[in-house]
Chain A
């Protein structure tokens, strides 16, 4: 059965074909299959991330001095049905399950335990941006659909390892969101039409400025 839901954690593949080409991703979605995680190291990294997500949240709680919502076993999947607003039976939904959200919805929390806890990212990797800005986009569409006036303004990406933690703040960037939307729309139509012709065309680079929306706001390190 066809997968007609696009998850923000996989936007990187729908838009850029980063870990699996866009054509291969489309073939998987048309068959309703998931890409399997290959290799022991990849599995270890995934398990490590699941195990230590709570520590990333905890470090944020200590720093921010407040408790976020929708964390750990209370995580929630936010879904925007029929995101292209189509008047037809078959439509595409977008969904996102952040690691936490500030109680006023102004800030999303996303925890990354990089390199299986061995070291932090030097800079915020650009391949995390489709997920970060995709989450903001999905959450804001969901809030709008719920007639909720609150809006997500930023994401705190918590890069947690036992010896070193960094928090980057990623402020909303509508220009980048529109860039993502353009390619998500192309992918959505490819899925609806079951044709990958448009996915074979090259992807334009983002021409706007994203760097000024991102800043390192917290860093703590074990000092020997």
Chain B
């Protein structure tokens, strides 16, 4: 895996070795235990966790997480739903994602180093960065419904030939 300059500095600062990363199509993904190591090095000891939404039947859990360090507080959210999670432990996944994101806020490497909280399955079933596959997070039916609405919204598109309707009338 290749690391850019910014990532190398980040690795040196927090004493992270390559084994704590994996390569997702060229983007370095730091594993959860790597983020916890960063938190330890920074001195983040406490997290304030708040349940925002929980629906066990629908498999949805949203957790708000805050942490304070040297008087600075960062807050972020972790969510798990059937659209972004195949893990049965939705609470644990939402907490893990929320924590990873908050820790990252303290490191200033957003958009450079990712957490596996940022991954979703793309069109081909492979894991990809969530911010690059927004179109595929929705189901096929949702995509078609949206496209139908957009097609119908194109004003003044008039049918000028329709053999199907003609044969229906006959």
Contact = CB atoms under 8 A, between A and B. Distances in A.
A185 B154 CA distance: 46
- Chain A, interface SS category: mixed
Contact of B162 (A73, A163, A218): A218
B144 A218 contact: no
A57 B144 contact: yes
B159 A219 contact: yes
B150 interface: yes
Interface residues of A, number: 28
Contacts, number: 71
Contacts of A73: 123, 136, 140, 143
- Chain B, interface SS category: helix
B163 interface: yes
Interface string A65-76: 001000111100
Interface string B143-170: 1101110111011111111111000000
A221 B163 contact: no
A186 interface: no
A58 B147 contact: yes
A68 to B, nearest CB: 9
Nearest to B160: A219
The CB with the most chain B CB atoms within 10 A, among A72, A163, A219, A222, is that of: A72
B122 to A, nearest CB: 9
B125 to A, nearest CB: 9
A224 B140 contact: no
B150 A58 contact: yes
Contacts of A217: 161-164
A218 B154 contact: no
The CB with the most chain A CB atoms within 10 A, among B136, B146, B150, B151, is that of: B151
A218 B165 CA distance: 9
Given A67-B144, A71-B140, A223-B156, A58 B161 contact: no
A219 B159 CA distance: 6
A220 B158 contact: yes
Contacts of B162: 63, 217-219
A218 B152 contact: no
B144 A64 contact: no
Contacts of B158: 220-223
A54 B144 contact: yes
Contacts of A224: 156
Given A59-B151, A220-B158, 18 more contacts: A54-B143, A54-B144, A55-B150, A57-B147, A58-B148, A58-B151, A61-B148, A67-B144, A71-B140, A162-B154, A217-B161, A218-B161, A218-B163, A219-B159, A219-B162, A220-B160, A221-B160, A222-B158
Interface of B: 123, 136, 140, 143-144, 146-148, 150-152, 154-164
Shortest beta-carbon contacts, A-B, top 4: A58-B147, A217-B163, A219-B161, A54-B147
